[in-house]
Amino acid sequence: MPLLELEGVTAGYGSAPNIINGVDMVVEPAHSYCIIGPNGAGKSTLLRAICGILHPRAGRVLLDGEDIGRLRPDQILARGLCFVPSDRALFPAMTVRENLEMGAFLERDRRVIAERLERALELFPILRERASQRAGTLSGGQQQQVVLGRALMMQPRIIMIDEPSLGLAPQIAEQIFRTIAGFTDMGIAVLLVEQNVRRGLNAAMSGVVLDLGRKVLEGPAAEILTDPRLRELYLGRQAEAAAGSADDGRA
Amino acid sequence: MQWLQILVLGLMLGGVYAVMASGLTLIFGVMRIVNLAHATFILLAAYLTFFLFDLLGVDPILSIAITIPVLFLVGVGVYLVLFPRIENSPRFVESTVLLTFGLALLLEGTMGRTFTGTYRLVRPSYGVESFLIGDLYIPKGQLYALIVSAVLLLLLAALLYGTRIGGSIRATMQNRTAAQIVGVNVRRTMALSFGIGIALAGASGTLLSFLFPFFPASHWEWVPVMLALVVLGGLGSLKGALVGALGLSVVAAFVMSEFGPTWQPMTFFLALFLILLVRPQGLYGKPLEA
């Protein structure tokens, strides 16, 4: 049985039209997937519909075969699925240590929390130096490390990360992607959303391409990267748009 | 030595003000609800205290043990009935102003019908007695109110910084999405915070019941006072509410002694205007995002 399975997931915000439409997908344990697609393809919405911040309007989200589509975010997290949003979402007035400890909010055993904190600090040595500093005063790259460290504190089986490179200098982004690529060695499945197609696909094992809320392509990351249809999707849209405006001109 | 007397009187009222303001700012900080009905809950507790004293002879300070849990439950109930409906409104903060304004009118009308418009004041013996220390005149009622307020604020701090529930409240205040993704049950945290905020309103209502006479519409006098206190400190900041409450109550005491009681309410309006002109985010508040 796959770890996570999406069956025809359809979702949107408020009373607005659907953003994603009937997406099917399978996530295997300790495997990484990068979700790519042009702006407005519904990448972030897909992650939100899985983690419980948004409830799917139709379709099923199955974790270990159980439908989690109606559960609250904290109930889904307790089942081992963790979400890292693109705005980093840390607690600015708490220290780095408190932020990391909040990651284990659902764990009540203080000893277990201390052990996990130690492991997170080993993975991100810079955070040990900054442990007593307020998280809001850190640089973007350090904040991203806090958020990833915090996500690991729950010992998730799946981590979903939305645009980890947003607003980071290229070298820092490289470093973050290397860390993320290492998560699968720890037995964690990774779902990554990334604007930069090449960088995202290089960091993941499989690629999933969304366009206008539908899945249009899926396969090993290296194959997706060289697939001519991917180029068409990104460049073809512009050609269509150009043709469209030419039509308007004639009318 | 007259200035010392005024300072002491101002500081003693500041404690009660801080309890009022902390509830209001907690409710805004966690849920972004501007609670214009806060003072009606204060009056509700004041009436409860009045009848407990009048009919059963319960000492007003002891009746805090009743008003706090009762108002807490009222708060949780009101939250669950009213606010989840407008949760996803794109104009949430504005909606809460209208909603709580309506709630204030409803509660005021209900209290007027039930308790009549007569002025009430709870009159325990310490309501009129004083200690005399040197030249310093210390009204017993105000001193006891200050002590109770300090204890309540310490308990609030212990709750916020020493318990799991407190951790989830602070997390939700700082970043609701982040709280959600680390596993805080945000809906439950918000209902609890609203309950705690209203319970604090209840506690301050009990204390005010023997300090100031009240009638169902007198909550309007407290709305600008409380808004000035929390806006000075920074809406949503508990430290700010404390500093704002102590600071403004001392200033108001000096204004009253210099210019007379007529000018005292002006202090709060003037403070509100000045803060909004000079530093709209208040002392410890975050500037509003565009």
User: What pLDDT digit, counting tens, does each position of B160-197 carry?
Assistant: 999 999 999 999 999 999 999 999 999 999 999 999 99
By the CB < 8 Å criterion, does A51 face chain B?
A: yes
Closest among B181, B125, B17, B189 to A89, alpha carbons compared: B181
By the CB < 8 Å criterion, does A92 face chain B?
A: yes
Q: For residue A99, what are the contacts with CB-CB under 8 A and spacing of at least 6?
A: A90, A91, A135, A146, A150
Q: Residue B90 has what pLDDT? A: 83
* B130-133 and B136-139 beta bridge pairing: antiparallel
Q: Residue A242 has what pLDDT? A: 57
Q: For residue A1, what are the contacts with CB-CB under 8 A and spacing of at least 6?
A: A64, A65
Please report the number of interchain residue pairs, chain A to chain B, with beta-carbon separation below 8 angstroms.
Answer: 59
Closest among B245, B246, B248, B239 to B286, alpha carbons compared: B239
Say whether pLDDT at A195 is over 50. Answer: yes
Mean model confidence pLDDT for chain B? 92
Name the 3-class secondary structure at B195.
Answer: helix
The answer to whether A213 touches A6, Cβ cutoff 8 Å, is no
DSSP letter string, A5-24: EEEEEEE-STTSPPSEEEEE
Predicted confidence band at B288 (pLDDT cuts at 50, 70, 90)?
low
Looking at the complex, report in whole angstroms how far the Cα of residue B101 sits from the nearest Cα belonging to chain A: 26
Closest among B72, B91, B30 to B198, alpha carbons compared: B72
Closest among B204, B184, B220 to B25, alpha carbons compared: B204
pLDDT tens digits for B228-285? 999 998 888 889 999 999 999 999 999 999 998 888 888 999 998 999 999 888 888 8
Quick one: CA dihedral B147, B152, B153, B157, positive or negative? positive
Q: Residue B111 has what pLDDT? A: 96
Amino acid at B133: I
Whole-number Å distance between alpha carbons of A113 and A150: 11
| B187/A89 touch (CB, cutoff 8 Å), yes or no | no
Name the 3-class secondary structure at B155.
Answer: helix
Predicted confidence band at B290 (pLDDT cuts at 50, 70, 90)?
very low
**Closest residue of chain A to B186, computed from CA coordinates:** A74
User: Which of A233-247, B125-139, B187-201, B240-254 is the most confident on average?
Assistant: B187-201
Q: Which residues of A touch B181 (CB under 8 A)?
A: 51, 53, 73, 77, 82-85, 89
Q: Which residues of A touch B186 (CB under 8 A)?
A: 73
What does the pLDDT average to over B56-77? 96
pLDDT tens digits for A36-55? 988 888 999 999 999 998 99
What does the pLDDT average to over B204-228? 93
| B181/A84 touch (CB, cutoff 8 Å), yes or no | yes
Higher pLDDT, B24 or A245: B24
* A58-63 and A20-27 beta bridge pairing: unpaired
Query: What percent of chain A shows pLDDT beyond 70?
Result: 94
Whole-number Å distance between alpha carbons of A119 and A97: 12
pLDDT tens digits for B144-163? 999 999 999 999 999 999 99
Q: From chain B, which residues contact A within 8 Å (Cβ)?
A: 88, 167-168, 170-171, 174-175, 177-178, 180-187
**Closest residue of chain A to B173, computed from CA coordinates:** A91
Closest among A140, A141, A129 to A96, alpha carbons compared: A129
What does the pLDDT average to over A62-71? 94
Say whether pLDDT at A251 is over 60. Answer: no
pTM: 0.88
Whole-number Å distance between alpha carbons of A208 and A191: 10
* Residue A166 Cα distances to A31, A33, A190, B175, angstroms: 23, 18, 18, 19
Say whether pLDDT at A241 is over 70. Answer: no
Whole-number Å distance between alpha carbons of B190 and B270: 32
| A105/B187 touch (CB, cutoff 8 Å), yes or no | no
Whole-number Å distance between alpha carbons of B205 and B238: 19
* Angle at B247 (CA atoms; ends B245, B250), nearest 5 degrees: 105
Q: Which two tokens stand for residue B190?
A: 């918000």
Looking at the complex, report in whole angstroms how far the Cα of residue B96 sits from the nearest Cα belonging to chain A: 19
Q: Which residues of B touch A72 (CB under 8 A)?
A: 185, 187
What does the pLDDT average to over A208-213? 92
Interface test with A, best of B181, B184, B189, B286 (most A CBs within 10 A): B181
Amino acid at B229: L
Q: Residue A15 has what pLDDT? A: 82
By the CB < 8 Å criterion, does A78 face chain B?
A: yes
DSSP letter string, A60-108: EEEETTEE-TTS-HHHHHHTTEEEE-TT----TTSBHHHHHHHHTTT--
Q: Which residues of B touch A92 (CB under 8 A)?
A: 174-175
| A87/B177 touch (CB, cutoff 8 Å), yes or no | yes
What does the pLDDT average to over B115-139? 91
Q: Residue A250 has what pLDDT? A: 44
**Separation of CA A152 from chain center:** 14
| B181/A93 touch (CB, cutoff 8 Å), yes or no | no
